[in-house]
Structure 1
Amino acid sequence: MIVSENSSIRCVGAVVHDSRGRLLLVKRGRPPAAGKWSLPGGRVEQGESDHAAVRRELLEETGLSVEVGALLGTVLRPGVGGTYEIHDYACRSNGAAPSAGDDADAAAWVDGATFTTLDRAGELTEGLAEVLRSWGAEPTTG
């Protein structure tokens, strides 16, 4: 990850697994990384807590409600106007079918085999697979 001397833009991401061990991913519809699969999430609004931002972003991007848990880690990504400081949280969902909304072109529960295929094909956002593996948070089924 690259650290920029520009201003920091606080963001959140959700690492959501269902009861089968699948991971919730969204296909980004806008820059940065348009067309790539990533974790759902986005910017924290003024006065909003991280947990509230995670719940809002998940609802906007996937239509799902989640319980937000512990912080798994933080990722820094260069962006227009600053560095995105993304705080990724473990979340729980009932595993309902997601529906893409807001800036997501698609949303899906992804099993381990599909995740590996997306990674090998270069269809995940840069560094996502490595970060999730280092946190022990990659999908486990398939």
Structure 2
Amino acid sequence: MPNPPTPDHPIPAVLAIVIRGDDILLVRRANPPDAGLWGFPGGKIDPGETLHTAALRELHEETGVTARARQVVTALDAFDRDEAGTLRRHFILIAVLCDWIAGEPVAGDDALDACWVDLTGLPTSGLPLSRDVAEVAAQAAALRTEGGA
């Protein structure tokens, strides 16, 4: 199947960062960029959709978990390149800190797997992580602590 045409602009997308107790919710991505790697649930923002609404929708579609969106943590670039290194797509990922409400993760939509992972052991977990996952998780944990949750 041929690659989709390269958009002439970055694609806005969200990541849902959900921390429950000492654990953080991760999914193993099924699609590029980062297929097979562990990261946060997320995806493209639909037209007319707010960041918070998009994060909660993607979270539920990929894991079945429900949460309340709290605040933006950070924004990142993600580049999807073909085998030759040619840029296919450029995503701007906006990480949104969310408070867990209910549900146990079950992989759905474009996730191969979904589970809670010990937050403090994340950098040494041995999981093949997408770039910046451990750093964004630490930023989210710090904001969560500052916010009193």
TM-score (norm 1): 0.81
Which residue does 2:16 correspond to in 1?
A: 14
Aligned-residue CA RMSD (Å): 2.1
* TM-superposition CA deviations, 1:117-142 (whole Å, max 9, x none): 33xx4600022213333x2538xxxx
Say whether residues 1:132 and 2:133 are aligned partners.
Answer: no
User: Could you tell me whether the CA contact under 8 Å between 1:7 and 1:81 is conserved in 2?
Assistant: no
Look up the SS of the partner of 2:70 in the other structure.
strand
> Is 1:55 equivalent to 2:56 in the alignment?
yes
- Cα displacement (A) at 1:34: 0.9
2:51 equivalent to 1:66: no
The one-letter code sitting in structure 2 at the alignment partner of 1:33 is: D
**Letter of the structure 2 residue corresponding to residue 127 of structure 1:** D
Match of 1:106 in 2: 113
* Structure-2 change in CA distance of 1:136 and 1:87 (3 Å): closer
Equivalent in the alignment of 1:46: 47
1:51-99 CA-partner distances (Å, limit 9, x unpaired): 1111110110000111001111111112354421111111011353111
- Corresponding residue for residue 3 of structure 1: none
Name the CA shift for 1:98/1:15 in 2 (closer, same or farther; >3 Å): same
Q: Percent identity?
A: 34
* Structure 1 segment 30-45 matched on structure 2, within 5 A: 30-45=31-46
Range that drifts further, 91-100 or 36-45: 91-100
> Residue 88 in 1 paired to residue 89 in 2?
no
Q: Which ranges of structure 1 fall in alignment gaps of 5 or more residues? A: 1-5
Distance 1:53 1:111, change over 3 A: same
Count of paired positions: 130
The structure with the largest alpha-carbon Rg is 2
Superposed CA deviations along residues 95-115 of structure 1, whole A, max 9, x for unmatched, are: 531110000000001113652
SS in 2 for 1:51: helix
Equivalent position amino acid for 2:41 in 1 = P
Gapped runs of 5+ residues in structure 2? 1-7, 81-86, 143-149
